[in-house]
Amino acid sequence: MSLNEYLQLADAIHKNVINNVAFMSAGQIESQMIELEKYIRKIQSVSLRILHIYQSCKRATLTYKNISDNYDPYPDNDEWTQTYKERQIIRPIKDAPQINANILESPEDVPNMTISWIRSLNQFAFRLNGVLFRGNIGEILHKHDMKSAARIYTCKKPQCKNYLNGRCKKYHDPLLYSGSTDIRNFINSSWIYTRDPPKKGNLMMRHFGDRNDLMHKIRIINNPSMVNMFMGQVIHDILVALVLDATKKESERGD
């Protein structure tokens, strides 16, 4: 069977499962998954065989000719699923920098990306288009809690001595402060969007996001800690969305 035929079979199984999952028995779904696994193994065995040929060729050429040793048979991590897909540069809005995207025909074709847990940092993380997002679900504090609020502002002391004993109330990124178990918190106003330029009273509000003035805001605001807070909110929101979705699925299953 050709690789293309395997792809067609896998596509057919994909369509069948996506469209009929509600009507299929657990056994039927399992047999489809086993079938997919079989295709993966078949292709892997071809891949392994080609790898052995590659290594043999390399050994032979290295012995007889002084050719470059820079060949690498493995694609980069993010290329495994994209070798047969078209990539294009898309501008999400006018004037914005270009973003590299896969061009697909339907939502079922979107590759699944899993979230990671970084044990040493006590943080969730994912990498999207080369950008690393890290964080947790933090507390959302109201204005009247502000006196006792902690871990909202990032600690900027290069060597804060009080991050382990809790005497410094700021947030210490565990990547920069080893052993820190801080979880970044937020003020509820951080989700309120303001069109005004940054000024006293709106610094903790949201300044980036509206398609009509996103690029204008980016040009006038050069504040890394605002960007930092935004990135923290993004992973916080994504984790909340995953919890919401998992809860919904649990209640549908009747757990």
Identify which of residues 157 and 195 has a Cβ nearer to Zn ion in the complex. 157
Residue 198: CB partners within 8 Å, gap ≥ 6?
207, 221, 223, 226
Residue from 36, 149, 160, 205 binding Zn ion (CB under 5 A): 160
Handedness of CA 188, 114, 117, 160 (dihedral sign): negative
The interface region with Zn ion, picked from 44-52, 62-70, 123-131, 170-178 by CB under 5 A, is 170-178
Least CB distance from residue 149 to Zn ion, whole Å?
14
Q: Are 160 and 168 in contact (CB under 8 A)?
A: yes
Identify which of residues 135 and 173 has a Cβ nearer to Zn ion in the complex. 173
Q: How many residues bind Zn ion (CB under 5 A)?
A: 5
3 state DSSP class of 215: helix
Identify which of residues 177 and 207 has a Cβ nearer to Zn ion in the complex. 177
Sites for Zn ion among residues 106-145 (CB under 5 A): none
Identify which of residues 167 and 253 has a Cβ nearer to Zn ion in the complex. 167
Residue from 168, 183, 187, 204 binding Zn ion (CB under 5 A): 168
What is the β-pairing status of strands 116-118 and 123-128?
Answer: antiparallel
Least CB distance from residue 129 to Zn ion, whole Å?
32
Q: Burial, 135: exposed, middle or buried (Cβ in 10 Å; 0-12, 13-18, 19+)?
A: buried
The interface region with Zn ion, picked from 6-14, 101-109, 167-175, 227-235 by CB under 5 A, is 167-175
The interface region with Zn ion, picked from 20-28, 115-123, 169-177, 192-200 by CB under 5 A, is 169-177
Least CB distance from residue 81 to Zn ion, whole Å?
41
Tally Cβ neighbours within 10 Å of residue 255.
7
Least CB distance from residue 33 to Zn ion, whole Å?
49
Inter-residue long-range contacts of 77-83, CB under 8 Å, 24+ positions, other chains counted:
78/130, 81/111, 82/111
Identify which of residues 170 and 217 has a Cβ nearer to Zn ion in the complex. 170
According to DSSP, residue 252 is labeled H
Residue from 32, 123, 135, 155 binding Zn ion (CB under 5 A): 155
Query: How would DSSP label each residue in 1-62?
Result: --HHHHHHHHHHHHHHHHHHTTTS-HHHHHHHHHHHHHHHHHHHHHHHHHHHHHHHHHHHHH
Q: Are 207 and 223 in contact (CB under 8 A)?
A: no
Report if residue 152 touches Zn ion, rule: CB under 5 A.
no
**Interface positions with Zn ion (CB under 5 A):** 155, 160, 163, 168, 170
